[in-house]
Structure 1
Amino acid sequence: MSIGSSLAEARRAAGLTVGQLSARTRIREALIHAIERDDFSLCGGDFYARGHVRNISKVIGLDPEAMVHSYDELHGGVPLPVRAASVFQAEKPIKIRESRSPNWTTAMAVALGIIVIFGVVKMMGGTDETPTADVRPGAPSASSKGAADAARKAASLSAAKQGDLIVLQAKATRSSWLDVKDAVGHKIFSGTLEEGKTSVWQAKRGMRVSFSDGGAVSLQLNGKDIGAPGPSGEAVSRSYGNPTP
């Protein structure tokens, strides 16, 4: 029995019309009719077809993974999951120089040294006028200001460079198929994220992610919680950062 026939028979056995199944899965009725005729051309590709087969199977009481496996066997097999480390190598770690406060002890020591030198010169018959150093408590010397400004500038440049890095964390509230690519289309991950599992991916400038079930995962982008990428049971595709068109 074909995949479409199996889905149609299970739907009727569950006492559901196509309209009722559409309401529960949020899949268009026309698309369900096509799938039950083994016509997957309207799905938009194997990735979305797997997602629809999985969601329909859950509602009508079939084993979702078994049905997806049957689909893969009839359509050339599923690509093996790719580890992020095999396609993405981060650049050398960016060392951010910490901005240090001016060294007031050194500034005071230099000023006192100047006063002592001119005092000795006066005692040895130098000029009657004793130059005084302008030392104000809490005021940094010119050299200390320069060092602090340079440190702040270096930290800003490093932070800007680090801002190109996109870090995406996905936690599965139920098992879901994901396909993750970097900004230029290199595959970072493709496979099933099991219920309760968490994965973290990172890429320069941005990444694109396709989800077979938009409500099955919870996301964090660069440490900020951004919630689910889409409605429950709906296959969606999202971009994060600035991926190349």
Structure 2
Amino acid sequence: MSIGSNSPEDDRPSIEDDRPSIGRVLQQARIDAGLTIDEVSASTRVRVPIVHAIEQDDFSRCGGDVYARGHIRTVARAVGLDPEPLVAQYDSEHGGRPAPTPAAPLFEAERIRPERRGPNWTAAMVAAIVAVIGFVGFTLVNGSEEGGKDKNVAEGSTPDKKPTPTQAQTTKPADPKPDPSDSAIAAVPKDKVTVKLSVLDDKSWISAKSHNGKLLFDGTLLKGESRTFQDDERVDLILGNAGAIELYVNGKKVEDQFETGQVERLSYTKGDPEVG
């Protein structure tokens, strides 16, 4: 006879504990897809150490719950899984879904700051030369006008010539230039990738690069602000607060339902819109 309050049934794991871990599911899906960690990192823009840590169920390197959930979504899509069950499992294991937090301050560590440029001496020299030429031209014209006035005083002014009826009829007012509008996005060039971002609510930190890694934009857009980016082959984006953004790619609205506080890494080419 045994004495104690704990029965053998108390030591049996719950049904929920029988689920494979998030990292194990992602690792197995990657192996089944025939992908390496380096290939997953290259396609998702998530660094190799972070992908490796996630597969070991170590989310401490993600920078917080918001970014951990974003990394899980991104990696799951790359290996062909539905990310929502894994995100729900992460929330249940880490105290529920976190409250949205401002994306820009937390993302400072990952921002790619543009190099500072020195003064453009060539432009300064050109401006100086133009200024000198303009001053000399003004002096010559002013002198000519004064000489003409003296001559008119001596000889008498001549009456102004009125335009003939033929000349008046042939002179037509210039056509007014059309005002640019947002509808021009529908006429984007087919030989380029065109991406337009508009912040509808709150604010969002944005990073945009061309296909060769050139930084097109790096900063925070406030509510009501927009940016348009173009490249010959591909535009890569990092959205710090994807739920606040309306996204148009090659003239078409992207209908993905991004969430507030969600971090998204996206790539678009000429044949998109498709999530990168």
TM-score where L is the length of structure 1? 0.39
